[in-house]
Structures are given as C-alpha cells and as structure tokens.
Structure 1
Amino acid sequence: MTDSSTAEKGSAEADGVRLLLCENPLPPIDEAIAAATNEVPHSNHYTEPYSNPLREVLADRLGVRPAQIHVNAGSELILRQLFDRFGQHVHLLTPTYPLFTEIAEQYTETRLQPETDFQFDLRQLDIPDETTLAVIVNPNNPNGGGFDMRPLPDLLETNPETRFLIDEAFVDFVDESVAHLVPEYDNLFVTQTLSKAHSLAGFRIGYAILPEPIADELNANNDAYPLTRPSQAAAIATIEHESKIRERIDRLQSWATQLADDLESLGVTTFPSETYFFLADFSPHDARDVAAQLRERNIVVKPLENDRLGPGYMRVTTSRPEDNERVVNALAEIL
C-alpha cells in the first residue's frame, strides 16, 4: 500500500520510542492476558457465531440490544463496510482520520481551525444536500479534542435522509458515548474499539452499534467467526474490569498533559486534547525534518502532512514518562 493511511499501521520496529501510532503505551490488563492465555489450548474450536457472548456483554454495557451490535476484527473493517454501503457522498469534519478521505467515493468538509483550537459547535454544522453519510469523530483524531454531542438528536431529525456515523474510537476519554441513542434513530451508526483505552490493538476487536437491519446485513455478509477465541476472551475480561481501565485513562491523560507542557517549554505550540495524543505545531521547523532527526535517535513520530495546516504539524502520542523524557531531551537538542 502507498496511501497515507499506511502511516497509521504498525511496523516491525518494536524497539525505541514509538509515538507514531495511537497505540496505548500500557499493556493489556492482567485479567485480559490470563483470559486469552486460558483460551489458547481451545483454539481448535471456533468461537460462538458472530461473537455472541461478547455482543451480549457489550449490549449490557451500552444499553442496547445484542442484535444491534456487529463485531469484527478491528473497527477499520467495519468502517470500510459502512463506507462501501453509504459512502457515496460523505461529509467530514477535517482534519480527520485519513482513512475516511481515502474510502469515501466523494466528500465535502467542514474545516476545524487551529485559531479555535480545532473546537466546533455542532449546532453550526451544515450538512450539504445529497450527503449520504456524515462522519463525526469524537474525540477527534488527530487533535484529540471532544465535541459537545447534545446537538446530535436535532441533526438526526433535521437530516433524516443522511446517515450519521459517530466514530468513538477514543470515547472512553470523554465518557460521552451516543450509542444509547441508536435504538431511537434509524440513521445513526456508532463505531467503537477496544484497541485504544483498553490496550487490545493487537487482538483486533472492533464493533458497531447499528439499527438492527444494518447489523443483520453486516453479520450476514461477514465471517461468522470474526474473532479468535483468545481475542474474544480478552475483550470480555477487559470489559468486566472496567474500573482498571478508568484508572489507566487518568494516568494516560496526565502523561500526555505533562508531555504537552514540556513541548510548550521548548517553544512548540500544542493544542488541547482529552486523549493521550495531541497536535503540536513545530513551526518554523518542518515536522518532517524534526521527525527524521528523531528517527535517527530511535524515536518514531508522525508528521501530519496536512497541506492546509502547513508543514509544522505533528500528532504526538504519549509514551511512558521515562520515554517521554527521552523525547523531550532529544527535541531540546534538535530545536
């Protein structure tokens, strides 16, 4: 692949400091590791069809019916499924997750501006005519800021012919999921993942909360056994120990805040985030040059490479404090 979303993928580079992806620097919780390990000897057997045990746990957690949930091996597959069906005319709030601009047949956009810290009042969102799918990422990627979702019901009601996809990959950091609204609106889709706050990226567990006919269609046109037995077991164990995840979220947010403060002390502009990553503007330096010099020090980061914002922008994901200190020391030399 040569598209820009390849930069969102993992690589064989396991050593050094990795701030490139939105990977959680903390490993899975012990209960998830134990549950997955216990299932390995039983991997000669399939899971239950459509990961029904996990769907039931998720439904109870989200306040919806199991029949409204579709599980797949990572949320990217689900996003591609939904864009294949409804992505003829997409409206995006940009900058956004680069996959969306690649898989939409065509798209319009509402630009989020650095002058307002990439914040936006959804009451001001104007959905163009003929929009088949409007996408809101909450919190937004790449800047990590959350939206006030209270205007969503009005948007759903005033645009009944448009499906709204709310991508909640990082929703655990704002605790404002709109999944409970899905039973009330047949034009609302919500996607979530256990890759981020729950540290299960390598297990590939994504899911969507959908109107029941759409969930039925996705299930009917998908592998009936989308997860491995260890993946499903790790997912259920993690959800059953949600209190541990909440404590880890607090730690991640504090590490990201400290890292942003340290970059500000070096003259780098950072933007508010509610997650464990944030946008930084290294101007007048070119973020690609900064990234190249960091890579020479075995620190991997991702320049944003957004033409409208300029060459100084970089998305920075926190690592552990000792690794963050290494990054700050390296940037002090480079800048």
Structure 2
Amino acid sequence: MDDPSTIEKGGGTFQGIKLLLCENPLPPIEAAIDAAVDEVPRSNYYTEPHSKPLRTLLAEKLDVPEENLHVNAGSELILRQLFDRFGKHVHLLTPTYPLFPEIAERYTETRLRPEDDFRYDLGRLEVPDGTTLAVIVNPNNPNGGTFDMARLPALLEGHPDTRFLVDEAFIDVAGESVVDLVPRHRNLLVTRTLSKAHSLAGFRVGYGVFPKSVAAEFDRRNDAYPLTRPSQAAAVATLRHEETIRDRIDRLRAWREEFATEIEALGVRTFPSETYFFLADFAPHDASEIASKIRERDIYVKPLDDARLGSGFMRLTTARPAENRQVLSALEELL
C-alpha cells in the first residue's frame, strides 16, 4: 500500500483526478518533449557543470548576472537547503506553503485573514528581532493571491541582518518578480521553478537567484551536474517558447475562474486567486470528510488542516474542463 505522504508528494500510483498538488494539468509543450527525447541517447554523458546552458539562458531572460544563479533538481531541494543554512529563526506569512512550517527550526508568523480575502500590505509587516529568514510566497500558496512587492526594498534596507526569501514558484502565472533587486541587496534570496507554469514538475528543474556569494556557496556544496540531460534540454526548449506558455496560462486561469464560480454555486465560499488554484471554505461541512468521500470517486483532494481557519478549508487546483465537471458533479451530490 502506498505511503500517504508519498502519494501527497506526487510519487504514488493514484490514477484519478488529482487536485491537491498544484500540478499543471497541461502536459509539457511539444518542443520540450522533443528536446528531452533527443537527449535520451546521450544520457551516458553528464551535462555541462552547474547546467551552464540553462543558467546562461536564464540570466539572459531575467537580465541578471549568471553568477547570481544556482540551478538544482527542483526548487524544494533548494528551499530545504536555504532553511538549513539560514533558517534558525524564520518568520512566515501564514497560511503558507506547508513545507515551510515543517522544515523551519522555529518560526513566528503573521496571519493572513480570510475576512481580508488573505490580502496583506507588506508595508505593515513587523519582522521580529532575531529573525534570520523572513519568507514571502508570491503569489501566495494556498490562496493564489499576490503581494505588492513595491514595499520590499524598504524591508530589505530596514532589516539588514535578516535574509528575505521570496518564493516565486507561481510568478510566471501572476505577480511582480523581484529578481532584478537581487544584485543590489545582499539579503535577498529568490527561488523559482519550472514545475508549475511550464509543466515540468516531473523533470525537477528549479533555480535560485541569490547574491553571488550565496550562489557560489550553493554551487560548491551541491552536485555539479544537478539535472539529467533530458531535464536540461526540456527546460531550455520550454524557456524558448514563452509566448506558448503565456497562452496556456491564460487558458488555465480561465478554467480556474469557471471552476471557482461553479464551486460557489454549490454554496461554497471561494477566495480571490490570480493563479490556477484557489482556496475554498466548505463550512459547515468538514473538508476532511469531503476529501475522504470524494476519493472513493477517484478524485484526490486534501483539506488545508489549519485549525485556526477551521475545518472547512481546502485548496483546489483546476483540472481540465471535463475533469472539473466530474469534480463538480461529485461535490454536488455530497453537499
């Protein structure tokens, strides 16, 4: 029997409709698939050290020096290493990506409130004394809203001894990137991934935009060949077709809007999102009970399990329209 935690990470054998992992329901673009297939026969050779072709392309597209970039096998690995290195005392804006409370040595938090639709003005953020790592997820996970990042430079300058980590896993879907600030601020760290908007979750391609000293340190401490040849080829090919990616993002956001509207029609409260996932409150129903019953119909969802928000909260990711209709039909019967 599969370990539930493994299934939740996407490594299980569940073959139904999965709405819990923020996976992109669209497959990699054809150019990425073709590029990966072409590299398979050359998989007896390593890639270039530190994925130089990909780093060079990223530096060009992001307009930052290549020395500020670190590439690795998925952004989760990078995030775990950042927390190991800098996360002695973490400050989080919660609810947040569930990995962060799990891997922080200890943390304080600023709560985002449902009555404010989880919106928050970063100009109000109070960073506790002694914080070594303050984390901002933009767009935020689990609700899909964005922050006004114009407030970030003042935070960086006002807290020079605190490193600020901005996790931009969904920045290609919505929001304002801050990678251009990294070369000017020694305490800013930005992580990004090709798993979400670019549909390369299974290829495991993540990267960080760090001060040069941090990027060099992470390169030294990690595998010099972090990506497989097919993964690197798929990443490069995908980044060369950003117009196609943007068109797909528009489609995903339209599907999410339609899906959330139909969920609301069932009497469920949903919260504003700019991504292809959203947060819903099924109260007075218990999200855990809904998740258990709906899985019997080959639909995998996961309750938020945030006691302070209540038992009704669940994050939902849009699937394709036909699959969304199956989910809606199942929920209509249950509710």
Report the TM-score, using the length of structure 1 for normalisation: 0.98
CA deviations 1:259-313 (Å, max 9, x no partner) are 1000100000000001110000000000011111110111111110111101000
CA deviations 1:195-227 (Å, max 9, x no partner) are 000000000000000000000000000000000
**Residue number in structure 1 paired with 2:42:** 42
Q: Percent identity?
A: 66
Unaligned runs of at least 5 residues, structure 2: none
1:281 is the counterpart of 2:273? no
**Residue number in structure 1 paired with 2:169:** 169
SS at structure 1 position matched to 2:92: strand
Amino acid corresponding to residue 129 of structure 1 in structure 2: D
Q: CA separation of 1:96/1:175 partners in 2, compared to 1, >3 Å: closer, same or farther? A: closer
- The correspondence of residues 1-335 of structure 1 with structure 2, limited to 5 A, is 8-335=8-335
Contact 2:147 2:175 in 1 (8 A): no
Contact 2:92 2:107 in 1 (8 A): yes
Shift of 1:6: 5.6
Contact 1:4 1:98 in 2 (8 A): no
Amino acid corresponding to residue 99 of structure 1 in structure 2: L
Amino acid corresponding to residue 237 of structure 1 in structure 2: A
CA deviations 1:9-38 (Å, max 9, x no partner) are 003334221112110000000000000000
Contact 2:95 2:142 in 1 (8 A): yes
Q: Distance in 2 between matches of 1:167 and 1:246?
A: 20
Unaligned runs of at least 5 residues, structure 1: none
SS at structure 2 position matched to 1:319: coil
Contact 1:7 1:302 in 2 (8 A): no
Q: Distance in 2 between matches of 1:315 and 1:59?
A: 33
Amino acid corresponding to residue 259 of structure 2 in structure 1: L
Q: Distance in 2 between matches of 1:41 and 1:138?
A: 38
Contact 1:5 1:98 in 2 (8 A): no
SS at structure 2 position matched to 1:173: coil
SS at structure 1 position matched to 2:115: helix
Q: Distance in 2 between matches of 1:84 and 1:4?
A: 25
CA deviations 1:220-241 (Å, max 9, x no partner) are 0000000000000000000000
Q: Distance in 1 between matches of 2:6 and 2:34?
A: 32
Contact 2:64 2:183 in 1 (8 A): yes
Shift of 1:7: 6.7
Amino acid corresponding to residue 165 of structure 1 in structure 2: L
Q: Distance in 2 between matches of 1:103 and 1:264?
A: 34
Amino acid corresponding to residue 96 of structure 2 in structure 1: T
Q: CA separation of 1:7/1:151 partners in 2, compared to 1, >3 Å: closer, same or farther? A: farther
SS at structure 2 position matched to 1:332: helix
The alignment yields a C-alpha RMSD, in angstroms, of: 1.4
SS at structure 1 position matched to 2:150: coil
Contact 1:5 1:99 in 2 (8 A): no
SS at structure 1 position matched to 2:149: coil
Shift of 1:63: 1.0
Contact 2:46 2:225 in 1 (8 A): yes
Q: Distance in 2 between matches of 1:7 and 1:53?
A: 33
Amino acid corresponding to residue 307 of structure 2 in structure 1: D
Contact 1:133 1:165 in 2 (8 A): yes
Contact 2:138 2:175 in 1 (8 A): no
Task: Answer with 8-17 or 21-30: which moved more.
Answer: 8-17
Contact 2:6 2:12 in 1 (8 A): no
Contact 1:173 1:249 in 2 (8 A): yes
Q: CA separation of 1:4/1:188 partners in 2, compared to 1, >3 Å: closer, same or farther? A: farther
Q: Which runs of 4+ in 1 moved over 6 A?
A: none
In the alignment of these two chains, the number of paired residues is: 334
Amino acid corresponding to residue 181 of structure 1 in structure 2: L
Report the TM-score, using the length of structure 2 for normalisation: 0.98
